[in-house]
Amino acid sequence: MFDKMKKNLKDFFIILLVIIIIVLVLVFKGADNDKNKENVNEGQKQAEESQNVLDDNFYSNIILEGKGNEDSGRYVTVLSDYSCGWSTKFYFDTILEFFKEKDLDKVWLQYDFLVLNDQSPSLLPTEAAYCANEQGKFWEFHDGVFNLKEKHEDLEVAFNKENIFGLAEELGINNSEFEECVNTNKYRQLINMRAKYYLDAIDRLGVPSTFLNGEPITMFINGEDRMVGAIDIVTFGKKIQDWLNK
């Protein structure tokens, strides 16, 4: 009888051990599934964050003044860099010339900026452009920054604080408010955030680039559709007109 009890006890512990192992397997499997779900959710979240952000929500983040008809639902967004020679050429040769001849009542023209890092010479004038915009002087200041490049070959000289503050004074911008805005780097976080938006959203991004309701202007080059930069006024006009006719 003792041997039978001993055998039953042994069987009981074996069964108990098997149950414990099964429970542990289920627990670890559940935890692993939760982790996998978490990884999948995180992956989906990252994918959503890195998708093309040039949509209506993206435009709501643009606080710079535009030109034209804001209620048109047609956004022409030029991505620019004050230190880029092609951005300067595109502005003077294409943007200013095209919209000088064309009526702006069909579109909302706005500029945005790609500043790659805090060491870029274009950071100061970009911050200053946001500050000038607070006083309704964005476009005047924007043109003035490009003109500073024409006067000074050295970007470090063209975009030093003396010239930036001098430009603001020439335009009748309130000096104390403007200088405080610039010196406190009020818009740096926004500028860095928007650069990340663009770089995460678009492969092989360059400046200048133009977006029509969030879609970049492209051309078929060497067998593939590629974003294009400082395109000529004729090509630009055709792209705009084709887009408006859709």
Within this chain, do residues 124 and 222 fall inside the same structural domain, yes or no? Answer: yes
> In this structure, what DSSP letter does residue 221 have?
E
- Within the chain, where are the H helices? 2-50, 56-60, 85-90, 96-101, 123-133, 138-151, 155-158, 161-170, 175-183, 188-201, 233-244
The answer to whether residues 78 and 142 touch, using CB atoms and an 8 Å cutoff, is: no
Split into its structural domains, the chain has a count of 2
pLDDT at residue 22, rounded to an integer: 66
Counting beta carbons within 10 angstroms of the beta carbon of residue 204, is it exposed (0 to 12), middle (13 to 18) or buried (19 or more)?
Answer: exposed
pLDDT at residue 101, rounded to an integer: 75
Q: Domain holding 224: CATH number?
A: 3.40.30.10
Structural domain containing residue 91: 56-244
This prediction's pTM: 0.72
Question: Could you tell me the mean pLDDT of each successive run of 10 residues in the chain, 246 residues long?
Answer: 49 58 58 47 40 48 74 90 94 90 84 92 96 93 93 91 96 95 94 87 86 86 77 92 90
Within this chain, do residues 14 and 42 fall inside the same structural domain, yes or no? Answer: yes
Within this chain, do residues 16 and 82 fall inside the same structural domain, yes or no? Answer: no
Q: With respect to residue 51, please indicate whether it lies within any of the assigned structural domains.
A: no
Positive or negative torsion for Cα 102, 107, 111, 112: negative
pLDDT at residue 28, rounded to an integer: 55
Residue type (1 letter), 217: I
Q: What is the rounded distance in angstroms from the CA atom of residue 228 to the CA atom of residue 217?
A: 6
Which two tokens mark 211?
Answer: 């977006």
The answer to whether residues 80 and 145 touch, using CB atoms and an 8 Å cutoff, is: no
